[in-house]
Structures are given as C-alpha cells and as structure tokens.
Amino acid sequence: MNNSKPKAVITGIAGYVPDYVLTNEELAHMVDTTDEWIMTRIGIRERRILKDPKKGTSDIGAEAVKRLFEKTQTRPEEVDLLVWCGVSADMICPATANIIADKAGVKNAFGFDINAGCSSFLFALITLVPFIETGRCKKIVLVGAEKLSAYVDYTDRATCPLFGDGAAAVLIEPTEDNLGFMDSIARVDGSGRKYLNIKAGGSLMPSTVETIMRRQHYIYQEGQAVFKAAVSNMADTSVELMERNGLAADDIAWLIPHQANLRIISATGNRMGLPKEKVMINIDRYGNTSSATVPLCLWDFESQLKRGDNLIIATFGAGYTWGAIYLKWAYDGIRDLSKGLTGGI
C-alpha cells in the first residue's frame, strides 16, 4: 500500500478498426509502387480505411468508447472527463471530444481535444494523469481515433502507403497501489513544422479554390528529415527515461513505440537494448494511425500483459512532438468484465 496521493492507472482498453482492408497490391494499382518497396522501406502490409463518406473520426472513436464501456462495465454517466486526441478532427469547431461524448451517451462529463501530431496519445496521457492524482476525476476516457484517409493524397506514392484509419480508447482510474504512471518526458520543436504538415484549411491559409488545386489540404511530408528526427529523438528520450529511473533493459517488459516505420521502431528498440520480442509491433496490419497506434498496440497485446510489467511508451510526430512514458501495468491478461474476465486486478 502506498499512503501518498493516488496513482493513475489504465484499467481497460478497447479498439475498433474499420472493415475495409487496403492492401499494398491495391495501392500498386493506384500509384507507382510495389508490395516489396513498402514492406522493405516501411513494414506495412495493409491498413484499414473508413469507406463510408458520411462517417468521420468521431464515429470510429465512439465505437471504441462504446466497446470500452462494455468491456469495463462502465456506465457512460459515470465518466468525469472524455478526451479525444489526434489530428483528424471531425470539424475545426466544435471539439471532436464533444461529438464522441454525444455519440457514446456520455452526459455528465467535461471534455476537450489534444492535438500533438502522432504524439497525441502520449501528450494526452501526460496531461490527464494530474486530474486523477489530485482527486479531480475518478473515471477518465481517453480515445485516440483517426480517419487519416480523409487527408491522404492517393496520387502521392511517398505518403499514401503510410497511413490508415483506426481507434482505441482507455479508461484511466485512481489506485492506491504503486502502479500506473511513474515518469515521463515530452518535448516540442515547432521548427520541424515545415517537414510534416497539412498546410491549408486553418487560419493561416484558409480554404480557397487555389489551395485545393495545389493539393494543400493533404498530408505533406519530407520523409527523410522526419525519419532522422524520429529515430534520434525517440531513442534518446527513451534511454534518458530508463537511466533516470534506474531501469536496465532486463527490467522492461515491453516497449510500445509509435508505429510510423518498422525501421524507426527497430532502431529505438536496439538503442534501448531490447530484443524484438519485447517490442509491440502491429504496423504491418494497420499502418500509421497517428494517435491510435499506441492504444491499438495495447489492445492487440493486452492478453500478454501482466500486473506490474514495466512499460515504456515512445512516440514522435508532426510539430515536431516527441516523448516517452514509463508506467507499470495494472492487470493480468484480458480484462473484459462483460465476459467475467477480471484481468487479475
């Protein structure tokens, strides 16, 4: 027992990905590329796409939240705070958190959006922990959800293989045990904005016929510059976090890296001295889903997690934004209270 302030722990996780599978073979009919190039240079075999033109990020986000409620047997009215994080907001205004709350039946909560590029989930977790530690909130829902296909230029072979759609949500609650969020490092460097951005549609460059003709509403990326910054910053931050918490590679059960490129993931794991068996990887099936990559990994690997496992989350994204979190996982295996699986909490 720990008699100090409560700690914030993740007590449930649920994901949702759209049904449509966009394979490398199909992409090779759309642009000049091959399955071999994409697998070798990025490590993606397929990604999910939300095809229904009437649906947006909030629809897949709300689906993940409803599944989370089912799994954790949480009533929507019990939620104090609901946060959506990501880059593909339904609209400029209002916040996507409001729309997800409405679609998932959350009535007694406040909420807001956090956009930190592909580090959105990491930045949001860091932001939300004090709401639990101070006692301000008892149940927080954080959902990372993206319909990136709305911003991908499917005539640009340099970016269209990279991104996919998907969502995953976590429930964050207090505990008196020495589990949950231990430490974190997060940084921004806005000078990196020129290498990865969506230029038009905001106040700096409002939408015009010209911005549409110049294809400035799509994701723009200078891949090599972003690649170099991602490798060095994700690895440096993770190693710094290990050192200042006295963690050796053997002490870490899992690295959960942002899924942007298999080579970036491998480089980060190698710098931390981790064998590949300790690195969560699902980029081959979903591609880069920005804010959803980390929670989709936790969802996919939930059955293999154990109470007390030391986890490191590491991300890098547009902005630039990057960082790492050290946390101790709170339960054993799959926690699905609707099926009587307590997850050993």
Least distance (Å) between residue 331 CB and ligand UT7: 29
Q: Which stretch binds ligand UT7 (CB under 6 A): 56-64, 155-163, 238-246, 275-283?
A: 155-163
CB–CB of 114/120 below 8 Å?
Answer: yes
Torsion sign across C-alpha atoms 277, 280, 283, 284: positive
Q: Are 30 and 19 in contact (CB under 8 A)?
A: no
| 245 catalytic residue (yes or no) | no
Helix spans in 164-247 (H): 209-213, 223-244
Sign of CA dihedral 144, 72, 50, 53: negative
- Measured at the CA of 283, the angle between CA 333 and CA 279, to 5 degrees, comes to 50
Q: If we measure between CA atoms, which residue out of 138, 80, 130, 88 comes closest to residue 113?
A: 88
* Known catalytic membership, residue 288: yes
In angstroms, give the least distance from the CB of 34 to ligand UT7.
6
Scan for tokens 């939240």, then name that residue: 65
Contact flag: residue 212 with ligand UT7 (CB under 6 A): no
Q: Which of 29, 17, 264, 45 is CA-nearest to residue 149?
A: 17
Catalytic site includes residue 118:
yes
Catalytic member of 85, 98, 115, 118? 118
Instruction: Write each residue from 283 to 322 as x if it is in contact with ligand UT7 (CB under 6 A), else as -, in one continuous string.
Output: -----x---------------------------xx-----
Looking at 260, 267, 298, 327, which residue binds ligand UT7 (CB under 6 A)? 260
224 binds ligand UT7 (CB under 6 A): yes
Q: What phi, psi does 8 have (nearest 5°)? A: -95, 125
121 is an interface residue for ligand UT7 by CB under 6 A:
no
Catalytic residue among 137, 258, 261, 297: 258
Q: Which part of the chain contacts ligand UT7 (CB under 6 A), choosing from 5-13, 37-45, 83-91, 181-189? A: 37-45
| 29 binds ligand UT7, rule: CB under 6 A | no
Binding stretches for ligand UT7 (CB under 6 A): 33, 37-38, 41-42, 118, 157-158, 161, 223-224, 226-227, 230, 260-261, 264, 288, 316-317
Among all residues, which ones are annotated catalytic?
118, 258, 288
